[in-house]
Structure 1
Amino acid sequence: MNGHRIILASQSPRRKQLLEWAEVPFEVMVQSTDESYPPEMPVPEVPVHIAREKAIAIRQKFESLHDANNIIIAADTVVVLGNTIIGKPKDREDALDILSRLSGNKHQVITGVVLLKGRQEIAFADITDVWFHPLTKEQIAFYVDKYQPYDKAGAYAIQEWIGVVGIKCISGDFYNVMGLPVSRVVTELKKME
């Protein structure tokens, strides 16, 4: 991206893969951050808030990143059923419960993205609607036991078995459900050149 050093502030293998597919040169830097948010914060603002905290933590940790030639990309994805944010499952029972609630229903996947370059910030949230077919208890248990989706918001990954057999349709960016609306990220990166 024209001499810019791009830093992905995420350990997510899916976000890394998506940027690689888009042929964006980048390096990964991570810093643990507090992922809490004010309880009164509107749901679509939550992943942007968390992404901003991740980006700021990286910039604070590495003084060299204050340089205007560096762009930090941070993202956070939440799954929302009704008006309730569903995080990563705590254990097997929680994963089974989450997928049982998503079964046969529509939910939203919201990814908040923050790009930082010097004092410039671009922040946005991308929303994809996802409808699951009704799933049997056996299907849900098979998926949880085989794929162990404990590091995934909503207890599933769209690119795995459950996405192939369980998702009826989506409205919005498929890659947003994987964790990064990569085409929009590339578009916003060009604005920062």
Structure 2
Amino acid sequence: MQTVLHRWSDRRPVPWKNGGGITHDVASWPPGAGADDFHWRVSIADVDAPGPFSTFPGVDRIITLIEGGSMVLDLQNEGRQHTLTPGEPFAFSGDDTLACHLPEGPTRDLNVMTRRGVCSGDVSVHQVTDPLTLGGNSRRHLLVALSDAVADERTSQRTDEAWELDRLDVLEFSAAVQVRAGLVAVIRIW
């Protein structure tokens, strides 16, 4: 797989599956797949008001708050609540009935969805101060810039393979890359 750069400025907002808000699709597989037939999907959603989440039967989901204060998830199937804080990935089933509350106002979150039995994924958040090497195996990785000027170690050498990300840009890759600085979310799909 080649390295693909997804610029935030190229993302167009689309309505949520339940019509309650907007999301910005970042990447999905297979290409052109819709809300009911993707293998995996990564998006960034704006949550401006409290309300229900869309259900995605047969899908495992991971949500990570990337802007705003906190979000309280009401996991109605389990009869409990979970408070999300920025940078904390939270996994749940797309089969579950959820609603959110926004005690500190609007938020923005990173969403990773994988079709159960087809593929899996995970998310980690890193404040990179020393170079961090990622990838280098057959898994698909996506690097989401949560700060400006996230760059490959080779950027200073100005090679053809060098890249630099602005806030909310995403780099999709499988070959090894080295991040030299910045706040990033790393998504692995296998």
TM-score tier by shorter-chain length is under 0.3
Q: Which has the higher strand share?
A: 2
Q: Which has the higher helix share?
A: 1
Instruction: Give the TM-score normalised by structure 2.
Output: 0.27
